[in-house]
Amino acid sequence: EAQVTQNPRYLITVTGKKLTVTCSQNMNHEYMSWYRQDPGLGLRQIYYSMNVEVTDKGDVPEGYKVSRKEKRNFPLILESPSPNQTSLYFCASNFRLGADTQYFGPGTRLTVL
């Protein structure tokens, strides 16, 4: 089954404690991205990757890091989380958009105390 998986689905942490949210897709997609969803703001792109070792900032990259060492995985790293990073996070992947659609993971709800 084609899917994007994220782990963990729920996470409560404290300010400053480094964390990683994993994302994996089994569709051999080149493009992967991370979004955060906040009430009244919709989803905003944090980072994206066009292929292995190719990553770039989205609209709200501050406080986040990513890596793309393998095509299937695209982890999101919060080196020093702060309360304003409390949000719902979605990973997504796709081939070139004109020929396909973007597939979203189930989401990770992060709370930073």
Considering the rule CB under 8 A, would residue 43 count as an interface residue with another protein? yes
Minimum distance from CB of 3 to another protein (Å)?
Answer: 11
- Name which of 35 and 85 has its Cβ closer to another protein: 35
The interface with another protein within residues 3-42 (CB under 8 A) comprises 31, 33, 35, 40-42
- 4 and 101 Cβ atoms separated by less than 8 Å: no
Q: Which of 94, 110, 111, 113 binds another protein (CB under 8 A)?
A: 94
CA 60 – CA 111 distance, rounded (Å): 18
CA trace torsion 89, 90, 96, 101 (10° rounding): -140
